[in-house]
Structure 1
């Protein structure tokens, strides 16, 4: 085996000098005086027959802010070096496009793996907020690249949990999306390089019930493996590896659904092995991201206590936490999941993401021409300026400039 290159010296990117420049740059790109005004004045704005109500929690979370800060800091500190990003820093197109404009190149996946073939030890690689598979991390270290790791602390908490399951010889059942970068990174830490340790990813309650039936009664192994192709560890055997299980989750899933996944699997284990033997066969731990839950709770409060005519959810279409916010609205009122204000084509037409069809669709006559109350929320990866542009566009449909609605005494200058 070739010798592993000496690892680059760790560099503190978050020095006061660097961060003062970075924060000014980040603010110039993503700050919104309008959103700040709404936060300070009850989250509500009314004019021209349109009332906009912002959820009390929305937009960037701490983990996203930290990831962006580190990426901007890397661009400043490592000027003159090639800087690469594994895929996307977060799931928001505006932010990722901004990093590209700053000269940070994106490494693309080829057949489910990032193409690292062009990297050299003189390069810098940024790890995104949702982390990276352990095999990818090892390969980058072998090359000897300078690594800027922006992995969210909540994600690393889940990694700690599945490693513990692995050490105790428990299979990790991960409630998440098998194709999502975070879940792939978590799953890679549920197994050992020598093949020890196993995982199974379940997407929803239907898949969970299938697994529970198998735990209780057994079943057709080949059918099971076909159903969960791409969502199980190499060598996974449901007849052996569902005897001792620990539940974990992708941090951006719906808390209520994850809790139900845990309850159903626990009941299945109790039915199979007896309640008195539960501790020998079952583990669980709450690893839902606090910011994700805060945004879900805030939207639930908005939906319950305000009489809304429609809901707009703003954020990247591949953002898991944003998709779940849209799911919360869809069954209760007209809900439009948009990437940015450009999707508000006119008062008659809106281009939005259909969760069931997994594609953009156009809805006609979406905005009532009488008085209307619109709820707005955004995922944890959506910057405030994108939310502002959405609000501005809504009022432009009624011929109103939002700037005119802000008191001249408001302390923040020019909107």
Structure 2
């Protein structure tokens, strides 16, 4: 099966001017923030009560996320009488997904890694999320005959194009990503191909990459390898065979520097094994990092280098890969608090935030204090501006300051 699967339903144009005007008004009412737009366009800081808030130059919704949300909203306008289902989450932000549920869009949940499509009929509409869906899932939905609204991000589809090319060249796709992430699962399914003979291996970090590199150079215990990468390799994967010719790709929301290092290390291992003169026969790679992801990482690094900050707040969904990497960058430089909304700012003494290392929320005491403090704020590509505004408002509330008065004085 190829990406050009025959549709059983006619294509419907959701992006007509009339529909988009309706969508724009509704989306803005739910997610727009005049405060954030003012600070973004003017580049100003907001100060009062001993707190100065500074925003990164790039943060929040990217084009791919905006497009996915627009299409989901448009679906409710174009198909007002049909049952509308969403495959999992449209993006990794709980507030946005809850809003879609409130609009009547039902969620299809995965059970043991496989979406339950029981009860779907040809009269139903299914929305595919921004990170795409596995080939087999798409095939099952199309066999039912559902109307499909595909919001898959263009950057994700660029990666799919690359892994299909690797497959056609007989190369194994080594995917730098999270094997459990929806996007990586979708990419891996494209690496396998219609005949099921394509191969993939997902590496999560540099430790796993080094293990693979050592196997490429020297061989090793095949069973140990397969056990280590259980759930992260294609069916029938044989490291003694399928690591001879490889192409590197990635989950688009990984950190660029790490993906580049994965590429460099695997390239060197292949070169050591087969010789520099034979490198082109055994190794392929393309830059498939999402531009918006990189822009937000660069903007955060720029703010950390340029500004004197006492702490950083990262706003976004806890299961958002690109947001997690922003928090990871911050942690390496200064106290960093990863929150999903303003409610996590309990008081000036307590903040409830996501601990990346423990995989759970924790409470930190004495995080804000009473003195002068500079706070940096950024947000992942799936975080709407209204959540950022609420975070800023809550920060100043903790010092008894209303944001409206600060804006009036700053203009």
- TM-score normalised over the length of structure 1: 0.97
Q: Helix, strand or coil: the match of 1:135?
A: helix
Residue-by-residue CA offset, 1:13-72 (whole Å, 9 max, x unaligned) = 000000000000000000000001111222411111100000000000000000000000
Distance 1:409 1:314 in 2: 25
- 1:125 lines up with 2:94 in the alignment: no
Matches within 5 A, 1:10-21: 10-21=11-22
Q: Helix, strand or coil: the match of 1:28?
A: helix
Distance 1:335 1:214 in 2: 37
Q: Helix, strand or coil: the match of 1:190?
A: helix
Matches within 5 A, 1:287-366: 287-366=288-367
Q: Helix, strand or coil: the match of 1:353?
A: strand
Q: Helix, strand or coil: the match of 2:191?
A: coil
Which residue does 1:29 correspond to in 2? Answer: 30
Distance 2:409 2:22 in 1: 29
Which residue does 1:391 correspond to in 2? Answer: 392
Query: What displacement does 1:6 show?
Result: 6.9
Query: What displacement does 1:114 show?
Result: 0.6
Which residue does 1:145 correspond to in 2? Answer: 146
Query: What displacement does 1:74 show?
Result: 0.1
CA contact (8 A) 2:85 2:126 kept: yes
Matches within 5 A, 1:68-107: 68-107=69-108
Distance 2:353 2:119 in 1: 37
Query: What displacement does 1:376 show?
Result: 0.2
Equivalent residue pairs, number? 407
Q: Helix, strand or coil: the match of 1:229?
A: coil
* Ranges of 4+ aligned residues in structure 1 off by more than 6 Å: none
Query: What displacement does 1:406 show?
Result: 1.5
Distance 2:60 2:390 in 1: 14
Q: Helix, strand or coil: the match of 1:356?
A: coil
Distance 1:263 1:28 in 2: 46
Q: Which moved more, 1:360-369 or 1:166-175?
A: 360-369
Which residue does 2:217 correspond to in 1? Answer: 216
Distance 1:241 1:8 in 2: 39
Q: Structure 1 residues 269, 143: closer, same or farther in 2, change over 3 A?
A: same
Q: Helix, strand or coil: the match of 2:223?
A: helix
**Unpaired stretches in structure 1, ≥5 consecutive residues:** 411-415
Query: What displacement does 1:214 show?
Result: 0.1
Query: What displacement does 1:300 show?
Result: 0.2
CA contact (8 A) 1:212 1:265 kept: yes
Q: Helix, strand or coil: the match of 1:311?
A: strand
CA contact (8 A) 2:164 2:193 kept: no
Q: Helix, strand or coil: the match of 1:406?
A: helix
Q: Structure 1 residues 210, 43: closer, same or farther in 2, change over 3 A?
A: farther
Query: What displacement does 1:407 show?
Result: 3.0
Q: Structure 1 residues 126, 404: closer, same or farther in 2, change over 3 A?
A: same
Q: Helix, strand or coil: the match of 1:283?
A: strand
Query: What displacement does 1:5 show?
Result: 9.7
Which residue does 1:192 correspond to in 2? Answer: 193
Which residue does 1:378 correspond to in 2? Answer: 379
Query: What displacement does 1:192 show?
Result: 2.2
CA contact (8 A) 2:313 2:378 kept: yes
Please, what is the CA RMSD of the aligned residues? 1.2
Query: What displacement does 1:194 show?
Result: 2.4
Residue-by-residue CA offset, 1:138-159 (whole Å, 9 max, x unaligned) = 1111000000000000000000
Which residue does 1:241 correspond to in 2? Answer: 242
Distance 1:43 1:161 in 2: 41
Q: Structure 1 residues 364, 111: closer, same or farther in 2, change over 3 A?
A: same
Distance 1:41 1:69 in 2: 27
Q: Structure 1 residues 113, 43: closer, same or farther in 2, change over 3 A?
A: farther
Distance 1:6 1:237 in 2: 35
Query: What displacement does 1:315 show?
Result: 0.1
- TM-score normalised over the length of structure 2: 0.98
Q: Which moved more, 1:368-377 or 1:33-42?
A: 33-42
Distance 1:183 1:366 in 2: 36
Matches within 5 A, 1:227-266: 227-266=228-267
Distance 1:131 1:165 in 2: 19
Which residue does 1:40 correspond to in 2? Answer: 41
CA contact (8 A) 2:314 2:323 kept: yes
Which residue does 2:268 correspond to in 1? Answer: 267
Residue-by-residue CA offset, 1:294-340 (whole Å, 9 max, x unaligned) = 00000000111111000000000000000000000112110000000
- 1:154 lines up with 2:155 in the alignment: yes
Distance 2:332 2:248 in 1: 28
Distance 1:51 1:127 in 2: 41
**Unpaired stretches in structure 2, ≥5 consecutive residues:** none
